[in-house]
Amino acid sequence: MSKLKALLLTQGMHGMISQVEGLAKALNLDYRHQTIKLKNFWNYIPPKFTPISTGILCEKLSCDAKVIISCGRKSVIPSIALKKKFGKGILNIHIQDPKVKLSNFDFIVAPEHDGLKGKNVLTSKGAVHYLTNDELDINESYLKSRINSQKKIVTLIIGGPTKHYNYNKKVINNIFSKVKQNFLEKNYQLIVVPSIRTPQNIIDEAKNYFNEDQIIIPNVDKKAYLCALKNADHIIVTCDSTSMISEAAITGKPIYVAQMPAIKSNKRFKNFFNLFASLNIIKELGSPIENWTYNKLNETSKIADQIREKIKLHDFS
């Protein structure tokens, strides 16, 4: 039986791509991505005040898929417009709170810490994503020639500036100082992995701050990311990315969150941190080094199982 086709709609950010692609893979769909770009005026208008039309897009939106998986504010209206056009001919799934009537979608996938409720809402602990333990195993040796087998490994995964967190030099140096004091002075080797949001000056700062024995990945490199997660004894993730913290939780390894001062209300983040702390997944960077275990999170598979059966029963005619 041939796979169902899926169209994945995002703004092109790593966290969003990871979520839509992860769900598509878990559902065994034949998918393609389309990056959503809105005409300038519509970038400033919330979805609930935006007309249901593909005319707000910079590029033509074509769809030969049976399943639409969207994530992020800009993809809300395109998904609804396709549903309006094709009706039962497609099944549309939105990841995250769309900030519009939930009935516009067949399914909403939302993290538990958002507190979103509805008959078509499926909740996950943290974000769904595209990482699997098989991929981690396959890429275990990618950085082998640079890893010191005589030392434990600590992996630092860095996000980037957001409306909630400011990556100024003082904040970054404070994080680097904690990494050095807590881990490097205790004979760990460091692997620094940037994300697509990480500014070049932060990568340069890491190169200048840490000695040449440490491994600084200079650009976005998924294989290096997977290898660093696989080989780490401890993982540190900056607090701006619940997505990357969720990805790290697939390993079952101790995760420290590098907290930063919030520049605006971060209630959703606090709810997320409280949930993951209650599940014994995370502690705050600066806490004593400990080894602890927890059940590896595989929320993508759990959500896919719930949707898969309903896809089988859906009448696409």
pLDDT in tens, 275-290: 999 999 999 999 999 9
Q: What is the pLDDT of residues 190-209, one digit of tens each?
A: 999 999 999 999 999 999 99
Instruction: Determine contact, residues 116/110, Cβ cutoff 8 Å.
Output: yes
Q: How confident is the model at residue 315 (pLDDT cuts 50, 70, 90)?
A: confident
pLDDT exceeds 90 at position 313:
no
pLDDT exceeds 70 at position 159:
yes
d(CA 317, CA 296): 39
pLDDT exceeds 60 at position 1:
no
Among 129, 195, 165, 167, residue whose Cα is nearest residue 268? 165
Instruction: Determine contact, residues 58/38, Cβ cutoff 8 Å.
Output: yes
Residues paired with 91 in a beta bridge:
67
- List Cα–Cα distances, 187 to 35, 190, 218, 238, 243, in angstroms: 43, 10, 23, 22, 29
| Per-residue model confidence (pLDDT) at position 312 | 86
Provide the whole-model pTM: 0.90
Instruction: Determine contact, residues 275/250, Cβ cutoff 8 Å.
Output: no
| Per-residue model confidence (pLDDT) at position 309 | 86
Per cent of the chain over pLDDT 90 is 91
pLDDT exceeds 90 at position 314:
no
The domains of the chain, with CATH numbers, are 5-125+299-313 (3.40.50), 133-284 (3.40.50.2000)
Task: Indicate the SS3 state at residue 12.
Answer: coil
CA 59 centroid distance within chain = 25
Main-chain phi, psi angles of 95, to 5 degrees: -100, 130
Task: Indicate the SS3 state at residue 255.
Answer: strand
- List Cα–Cα distances, 214 to 89, 146, 188, 207, in angstroms: 53, 9, 9, 9
Q: Average model confidence (pLDDT) for the chain?
A: 95
CA 271 centroid distance within chain = 17
